[in-house]
Amino acid sequence: MSSIYLKNLQTNPQSTDTVNSNYVFTDLYMDLTQDTETVMGKTSLSKAGKVWKKDLKVLHDESAIANSIFYIMNTLPGQRPLVPTFGCDLRKFIAQPITEYTTKMIQDTIFSALRTWEPRIKVTAVEVEPNPEQHEYNITIQAAVPKLSQPYINVFAKLTQSGELKRV
């Protein structure tokens, strides 16, 4: 059996490379990229002034929640074998005609998925604006985050013709 060691998610008072205790939420960046930081004047640099921290990228507070929202909306039900109902099947709307009904169905699907799978937020509004010329939808999600000092976040996305959900 193998193990994965995630140094960024544990607290060690002896180390200077630990999670800041001022954060309420800490999540892994779902693309599983290594974390980098820009440092000027150092000699042990990799490309373009970035130093590899040799750990997975983590996000905190608003960024962690926004990343989680995108993860939920980009995951098709059935993609996670141990939680087969997890996700939000937005791709099924791409082949549908752009109508008021389809727009409302997208809105309801997002609202329901976030209410079910993201307990840290209370979704206050989901706005879906169709763009018929490009056959895509612009999505705005407004949510209350009671545990953060900034109590509201806005997440902007675009559901493209190919079924990809892009951050805007």
Using CA atoms, how far apart are residues 159 and 155, in angstroms rounded to an integer? 13
Q: Give the residue-averaged pLDDT of 147-159.
A: 88
DSSP helix/strand/coil, 93: helix
Residues forming beta bridges with residue 156, ordered by sequence position: 140
Q: Give the residue-averaged pLDDT of 122-147.
A: 93
With the CA atoms of 26, 30, 35 and 37 taken in that order, what torsion angle do they form, in degrees rounded to the nearest 10?
A: -80
| pLDDT at 15 (0 to 100) | 43
Q: Give the residue-averaged pLDDT of 119-136.
A: 93
Lowest mean pLDDT among 2-16, 57-71, 79-93: 2-16
Q: Which residue has the tokens 């999670």?
A: 19
Lowest mean pLDDT among 13-17, 103-107, 151-155: 13-17
Residues contacting residue 142 through CB under 8 Å, at least 6 positions apart: 123, 124, 125, 126, 127, 152, 153, 154
| pLDDT at 146 (0 to 100) | 84
Residue 116 has pLDDT above 90, yes or no: yes
Q: Give the residue-averaged pLDDT of 138-152.
A: 88
Sign for the pseudo-dihedral over CA of 107, 161, 73, 122: negative
| pLDDT at 38 (0 to 100) | 47
Q: Give the residue-averaged pLDDT of 129-138.
A: 93
Cα 118 to its chain centre, rounded Å, is: 11
Mean pLDDT of the chain: 78
Q: Give this prediction's pTM.
A: 0.69
Residue 46 has pLDDT above 90, yes or no: no
Using CA atoms, how far apart are residues 108 and 110, in angstroms rounded to an integer? 6
CA separation, residue 14 to residues 19, 45, 51, 76 (Å): 12, 26, 22, 41
